Chains A and B, each alone.
Chain A
């Protein structure tokens, strides 16, 4: 399948990197279990897996940002030990993240040669510096003025500058984590050509992507991670698409998501059009002309891989992206302008974000203060707080949600993940929403809390709420949703009726595979 130049490495190619029996847990959560991974010189090795399969943890361990609990890393046969990212860089490992690590305000040459300027006694030799920078840039096929500031370059060139920097530091193992998420099609082709050059120069490349077409355009070898284990590691030619998708999703479906009788009523929310600009100049839009409807009592599943725009779409509908988003929307037949979250709450919308610690809770405040925050005017007529009513509401809701805490005056920072999420839900119960936007509400919560969250969703839909649910737990989402829409690169790529799709269908659509029916 490799059509990019260079012959695929043979079995006898030297092993550049070998990670064996890598294990890592975060608390009780085992993220990686006995993972083996090998990278050969001149090879593009794709690391595939669903969100949360353990890919980024493995990469962070390789990059020295995280220490493994167990296991060994060997580079060109010699065991190594990384205590910090610098150690990994010294051994020739470069991780190119989605967020680039260049200093935008500095020139290309400054970024490339930071700390290694040619010259004597602190006197910079500008001509030598420019010449050296040009040489470094040529290795990745860039012809640029080294004195230009990095921020003036398009993202794709910045990425190449970062790769050039890694090469000039002697990197032979290059990790690219979703490098194309912000790139246009021609830029993607340019990047692929450079990857072919790198292979020819004997580098090994670990490539992470959610796009099937990229996997098969680039990969010499594919390793599939699922729930922290390697479930397959084969040459790309021996792993057809269907098999790959099956391996990625082949997870047992628990019964955490109880079934419910669907009863859809009138249209609650009608999103006519939504567009979200990318951040920074020249980036492609994150959401392009998405449209959807949710009826009262209906649960609409919204699915997409990282970077597909699902979260941004939900944020835009909640008025939380400000001027970056253009939204035309009706709620119960009335046109509403979502200028701010405040306006959205007034219009009866609630948003449970996918990161409760960053955007859901005020960790320094207690359970009561968090639970009433979004509906505070109701608990403080004329501005004076009615503590008694606040506590009564919180106690009642805590009972309904089975919230476990030592005291309602306890800081939410000290609660477990599942209980923290229940506090977030209690906050939105207080606002009596008509439309609920739930962005991965069961992320990182235990099975019991998960079950209660789904029960609450059912209760909400029974009361006539329209619910949009995004989740990284697809089997559960398939169970509870009446309809499912799949997003790919900012567009709605497919939609399914509940009960008629499988996780594999969703994954294929989410990875940009055309649906043939």
Chain B
């Protein structure tokens, strides 16, 4: 590596940057902006603590639990958005899986080690189907996943007969009785570590960790960034563009399925109407975090921050008893503000 050419030292020496320039680079990065936004939200929480509710750990535990299902959806959405795509179907896939999981666990008495993989496969299949249409026929992701959103919702209603799939069971004589809540439901809905953290939150954090490995440590992740950054250059560099797109949408489907499992367990039922509009929250989380809808830029760390921002915002408004109407309006304003701040960085 060293044949004494001065230029070489220059380029290799450039690898090691001074601490000051690293700090400067960090401060201008999307992560810094997202952290700043989260800090701001937390500061608001301290200022308007809802008679001290914000200072209790239980409030934070619940904020994290309530944000977890959205966060899990956002993990999958991050893959798709990094390829410059979008997936509108995740809310419907969540409902489909919730219905399927409840049916299998409560009524068909499938053991969890069979029911869970089956549900993940169903979600993955929905996503892969969208991805295949996007990649092979080059139809806009918005349209394809809009179609999948409608289709999966219809399938959920068909499987459930339009009713919530609950533990209520009608006996042959017409009377109703309650089937036992499956153990897997209770497990997902429980809290660990002395009641201090919800299992759902741990599932969310595991999803974040898994996504991070795929995006930052595996070849696949690099390919996804390349496709989103410049699809033509990626194709001409031998990136298997179609296969990678199918994978991104399939992952979004699998994560939607995980969210569906959590949703079913928390509600102890499979509601075919569940997850309405969740896809939009998931997109908002990804965008507020700072991942670019244009593709190629962003990451799962940003999605974690985005989930916390949205989750805490919602919690702070609710402990202060702000009516839902105002909360929605405020969320809209914050999405625009976040995007404006992110754009400044480009």
Contact = CB atoms under 8 A, between A and B. Distances in A.
Interface of A: 318, 320, 340-342, 344-346, 351, 353, 358-365, 369, 373-374, 376-377, 380, 383-385, 391-392, 395-396, 398-399, 402-409, 427
B225 A404 contact: no
Nearest to A406: B14
B237 interface: yes
B233 interface: yes
A377 B235 CA distance: 15
B1 interface: yes
A361 B229 CA distance: 9
- A358, A365, A392, A398: residue with the most chain B Cβ atoms closer than 10 Å: A365
B329 interface: no
A369 B225 contact: yes
B11 A320 contact: no
A405 B228 CA distance: 24
A351 B236 contact: yes
A63 B219 CA distance: 47
A380 B15 contact: no
B229 A408 contact: no
B232 interface: yes
Interface in B223-262: 223, 225-226, 228-230, 232-240
Contacts of A363: 229-230
A368 B236 CA distance: 17
B219 A376 contact: yes
A351 to B, nearest CB: 6
Contact of A383 (B1, B218, B235): B218
18 contacts: A320-B235, A340-B235, A358-B232, A359-B236, A360-B236, A361-B233, A362-B233, A364-B229, A365-B229, A380-B219, A383-B218, A383-B219, A384-B218, A385-B217, A385-B218, A395-B11, A396-B1, A408-B14
Contacts of B240: 342
Contacts of B236: 318, 320, 341, 351, 353, 359-360
A338 B219 CA distance: 24
A399 B226 contact: no
Interface string B1-40: 1000101101110110100000000000000000000000
Nearest to B9: A399
A456 to B, nearest CB: 14
Contacts of B55: none
B270 interface: no
B15 A385 contact: no
A363 B229 CA distance: 7
B222 interface: yes
B300 to A, nearest CB: 15
**What are the 10 A-B residue pairs with the smallest beta carbon separation, nearest first?**
A399-B8, A362-B229, A364-B229, A380-B219, A364-B296, A345-B238, A374-B237, A342-B238, A362-B230, A398-B11
A407 B239 contact: no
Interface of B: 1, 5, 7-8, 10-12, 14-15, 17, 217-220, 222-223, 225-226, 228-230, 232-240, 296-297
B233 A376 contact: no
A399 B5 contact: yes
A363 B218 CA distance: 20
A399 B1 contact: yes
Given A320-B235, A364-B225, A407 B230 contact: no
Given A377-B219, A403-B11, 9 more contacts: A318-B236, A341-B238, A362-B225, A376-B223, A385-B217, A385-B222, A398-B12, A402-B7, A407-B14
A407 B18 CA distance: 11
Contacts of B239: 342, 373, 376
Contacts of B226: 362, 365, 369, 373
A221 to B, nearest CB: 41
Contacts of B8: 398-399
A498 B22 CA distance: 51
B238 A380 contact: no
Contacts of B17: 407, 409
Contacts of B237: 341, 345, 373-374, 427
Contacts of B7: 399, 402, 404
Contacts of B220: 383
A374 B12 contact: no
Nearest to A408: B15
Nearest to B10: A404
B15 A407 contact: yes
Contact of B217 (A384, A395, A399, A409): A384
Contacts of A345: 237-238
A398 B233 CA distance: 20
B11 A404 contact: yes
A1 B226 CA distance: 54
A344 B237 CA distance: 10
Contacts of A404: 7, 10-11
Contact of B234 (A351, A373, A391): A373
Contacts of B233: 358-362
Contacts of B296: 362, 364-365
A449 B309 CA distance: 47
Given A360-B233, A362-B225, A408-B15, A385 B10 contact: no
Contacts of A373: 222, 226, 234, 237, 239
Given A362-B296, A404-B10, A407-B14, A380 B225 contact: no
A383 B239 CA distance: 13
A275 B99 CA distance: 54
